Amino acid sequence: MKPTTYKVEADILTHDKNPYEMVKELLKDSISELNLSENIYHMIKKPMRVLEVSLPVRMDNGEIHNFTGFRSQHLDVLGPTKGGIRFHPGVHADEVKALSIWMSLKSAILDLPLGGGKGGVKVDPSRLSERELEELSRTYIRKITPIIGPQKDIPAPDVNTNPTVMGWMIDEYDKLRGYNIPGMLTGKPLVIGGSHGRLEATGRGVVITIREAANVVGVQLNGASAALQGFGNVGSMTAKFLHQLGVKVVAVSDVNGAIYKKDGLPVPDLIEFTSRGKSIAEYRKAEPIRHEDLFRLPVDIFVPAAIENQITSETATHMQVKIVAEAANGPTTPEGNRILENKGVFIIPDILCNAGGVTVSYFEWVQNEMNYYWKEEEVNQKLEERMVEGFYNVLKMRDQKRVHMRKAAYMVGLKRIVEAFKARGWVKNHDLY
Ligand SMILES: NC(=O)C1=CN([C@@H]2O[C@H](COP(=O)(O)OP(=O)(O)OC[C@H]3O[C@@H](n4cnc5c(N)ncnc54)[C@H](O)[C@@H]3O)[C@@H](O)[C@H]2O)C=CC1
Ligand SMILES: O=C(O)CCC(=O)C(=O)O
């Protein structure tokens, strides 16, 4: 029976797990490592604009439920702000603020002419009918229309949103504007201006960074083992490309359960299974394990591909891995990070690791703007070049400054942003040191 109340989880905002507090600490540290003044921290710590919207939706039972949504636009010094929209019960203002800051850094590391934005609606979409979901998606885009646009702020998919949702959203925007504006959001279905390769892009980019990290660490990928948390767009595509490189994906999970197979899961079969709307917990060709066991497996590569705050002081203590590839945004708490760094784990930080998504979104937007479309090989080749260049820019910073990969990634992103501040005259030389 359909629930008639739409109660969502309480905010879990202890200070050390609040992603906005986490990202501010990291910004402060990295700015000081670059010997830049606190002026830069003060300019960058707050999003330039955060909009909160009320989203009344008539539910199938006739009642009106008023959901809450947000859009945070962090910084447009490098170009229009850009970033996904998530539908999740845990969405809150500080989460979208942090996610928008990560988007600014991500685009800066990959040398994209974009700033950072992010949006979200506090909702459990699994409780909505398709009609309710469509109405919510259209209502959300109407409410944020005054602040978005192809030269202002360009949304895209994130957790629990996908090309179908993007299709409804762009249709609503086009109706309001009176003509079609394909570059207004990315991650669209191909037939209405999406890009080849966008669906796979984040996972493909994650695996490019894993391949390069494996070279640095000395892990032979053919025959190596991996465990993944989350099997949605990013997790499943990461599994697919790891499998293609000969990596044994021994364990995966989703929100409902986790499974294990010592000799490696049949990844293509699992992707086919979950694409039919089934959950990992229902897959019978592998052994069910507990969520927490996923973190205890001795594997070469661990990929968090779900939500924030999963690698914590509790879980990191048990991890026995060589590489952590942060496919999710903000999956590691500061304490979890310290534990992994002390163990000598090579961490590919989120703002580098998962940047393939926004990179191909940028390519989609470019194709929309010129109204000329590339073949998939061209998109993938351009993605490969950007990811490899981003990876080695961060590695170089790590080696020059003798810092860990996360701080190095922040430093690469911040350096570019500060250059843009200078170029626009937002800061003068005396503000910098
Ligand atoms: N979709 C994209 O292009 C990009 C996504 N990301 C990040 O990647 C992560 C995953 O995003 P998507 O794959 O797009 O979302 P999705 O909605 O397609 O999949 C999320 C997956 O995580 C699972 N999950 C949620 N909570 C979990 C938990 N507590 N334990 C285990 N599994 C859990 C869900 O069941 C689902 O399998 C997010 O952090 C997102 O911000 C980052 C860059 C781009
Ligand atoms: O594709 C995009 O524009 C944004 C993807 C995103 O939300 C992310 O990288 O976290």
Task: Considering every ligand atom shown, identify the ligand nearest to the alpha carbon of residue 308 and give its number.
Answer: 1
- 153 with 297, same domain: the answer is no
Residue nearest atom 7 in ligand 2 by C-alpha distance: 84
What ipTM describes this predicted complex? Answer: 0.99
Residues with CB under 6 A from ligand 2: 82-84, 106, 156, 158, 186-187, 329, 354, 357-358, 361
370: in domain: no
Domain count, the chain: 2
413: in domain: no
- 31 with 170, same domain: the answer is yes
Contact 417, 351 (CB under 8 A): no
Set 118, 122, 322, 407: catalytic member: 118
For ligand 1, pick from 102, 118, 158 the residue to mutate: most ligand atoms within 8 Å of CB. Answer: 158
- 133 with 257, same domain: the answer is no
Closest by alpha carbon to 155, among 106, 95, 82, 93? 82
Place of tokens 């694409």: 275
| Element of type H or E holding 350 | helix 350-353
372: in domain: no
Residue nearest atom 27 in ligand 1 by C-alpha distance: 255
- 28 with 129, same domain: the answer is yes
Task: Considering every ligand atom shown, identify the ligand nearest to the alpha carbon of residue 271 and give its number.
Answer: 1
- Judged by DSSP in three states, 373 sits in coil
* Cα(123)–Cα(45) distance, integer angstroms: 27
* Cα(103)–Cα(109) distance, integer angstroms: 10
pLDDT (average), residues 378-382: 98
* Cα(263)–Cα(152) distance, integer angstroms: 49
Query: Which of the residue ranges 14-23, 157-166, 198-207, 300-309 would you say has the lowest mean pLDDT?
Result: 14-23
- 179 with 228, same domain: the answer is no
Closest by alpha carbon to 60, among 137, 132, 122, 5? 132
Question: Would you say residue 9 has pLDDT above 90?
Answer: no
189: in domain: no
* Cα(415)–Cα(216) distance, integer angstroms: 24
User: What percent of the chain clears pLDDT 90, i.e. is strictly above it?
Assistant: 95
Query: Is residue 17 very low, low, confident or very high in pLDDT (cuts 50, 70, 90)?
Result: confident
305 lines ligand 1 (CB under 6 A): yes
Q: Which residues are annotated as a binding site for NAD(+)?
A: 202, 233
What mean pLDDT value characterizes the chain? 95
- 145 with 36, same domain: the answer is yes
User: What percent of the chain clears pLDDT 70, i.e. is strictly above it?
Assistant: 96
- 343 with 207, same domain: the answer is yes
pLDDT (average), residues 191-197: 98
Q: Which atom of ligand 2 approaches the CA of 102 most closely?
A: 10
90 lines ligand 1 (CB under 6 A): no
Q: Residue 129, class by beta-carbon neighbours within 10 Å (0-12 exposed, 13-18 middle, 19+ buried)? A: exposed
Residue 386 burial (CB count, 10 A): 22
Closest by alpha carbon to 119, among 93, 80, 146, 151? 93
For ligand 2, pick from 74, 100, 103, 364 the residue to mutate: most ligand atoms within 8 Å of CB. Answer: 103
**Boundary of a domain, candidates 348, 368, 386:** 348
298: in domain: yes
Closest by alpha carbon to 190, among 357, 368, 341? 368
355 lines ligand 1 (CB under 6 A): no
Contact 6, 136 (CB under 8 A): no
pLDDT at 6: 31
Question: Would you say residue 99 has pLDDT above 70?
Answer: yes
406: in domain: no
- 19 with 168, same domain: the answer is yes
- 35 with 175, same domain: the answer is yes
Ligand 1 mean position, distance from CA 157 (Å) = 11
**Boundary of a domain, candidates 348, 380, 407:** 348
- 82 with 117, same domain: the answer is yes
232 lines ligand 1 (CB under 6 A): yes
Task: Considering every ligand atom shown, identify the ligand nearest to the alpha carbon of residue 155 and give its number.
Answer: 2
Ligand 2 mean position, distance from CA 358 (Å) = 5
CA distances from 230 to 211, 258, 351, 355 (A): 20, 9, 18, 17
Ligand 1 mean position, distance from CA 418 (Å) = 31
Question: Would you say residue 21 has pLDDT above 60?
Answer: yes
Question: Would you say residue 15 has pLDDT above 60?
Answer: no
pLDDT (average), residues 167-190: 98
* Cα(412)–Cα(109) distance, integer angstroms: 6
Contact 187, 163 (CB under 8 A): yes
Residue 27 burial (CB count, 10 A): 19
357 lines ligand 1 (CB under 6 A): yes
- Judged by DSSP in three states, 276 sits in coil
Question: Would you say residue 4 has pLDDT above 60?
Answer: no
- Judged by DSSP in three states, 63 sits in coil
* Cα(20)–Cα(72) distance, integer angstroms: 12
- 143 with 213, same domain: the answer is no
Q: Measure CA 320 to chain center.
A: 24
- Residue 326: what are its φ and ψ, rounded to 5°? -80, 85
For the domain that residue 102 is a member of, what is the CATH number?
3.40.50.10860
367: in domain: no
Question: Would you say residue 313 has pLDDT above 60?
Answer: yes
More confident residue, 11 or 155: 155
Ligand 1 mean position, distance from CA 166 (Å) = 16
Place of tokens 């030269």: 151
pLDDT tens digits for 43-57?
A: 999 999 999 999 999
Is 422 an active-site residue? no
Closest by alpha carbon to 113, among 81, 138, 83, 89? 81
Residue nearest atom 40 in ligand 1 by C-alpha distance: 328
pLDDT tens digits for 231-257?
A: 999 999 999 999 999 999 999 999 999
User: Which residue segment(s) compose the domain that 240 sits in?
Assistant: 200-348
Contact 82, 121 (CB under 8 A): no
291: in domain: yes
pLDDT at 16: 54
The DSSP symbol for 355 reads T
Closest by alpha carbon to 193, among 203, 183, 201? 183
Q: Measure CA 20 to chain center.
A: 15
Closest by alpha carbon to 130, among 256, 277, 238, 347? 277
Query: Is residue 96 very low, low, confident or very high in pLDDT (cuts 50, 70, 90)?
Result: very high
Question: Would you say residue 5 has pLDDT above 50?
Answer: no
For ligand 2, pick from 106, 118, 158 the residue to mutate: most ligand atoms within 8 Å of CB. Answer: 158
What is the DSSP pairing of strand 287-289 with strand 257-260? antiparallel
Ligand 2 mean position, distance from CA 342 (Å) = 30
Place of tokens 């949605």: 232
pLDDT tens digits for 208-231?
A: 999 999 999 999 999 999 999 999
Beta pairing partners, 226:
249, 301
What is the DSSP pairing of strand 248-254 with strand 257-260? antiparallel
Q: Which atom of ligand 1 approaches the CA of 327 most closely?
A: 8
Give me the torsion for CA of 208, 346, 391, 359, rounded to 10°: 60
- 19 with 148, same domain: the answer is yes
For the domain that residue 256 is a member of, what is the CATH number?
3.40.50.720
* Cα(38)–Cα(11) distance, integer angstroms: 30
For ligand 1, pick from 165, 234, 383, 387 the residue to mutate: most ligand atoms within 8 Å of CB. Answer: 234
**Boundary of a domain, candidates 332, 348, 364:** 348
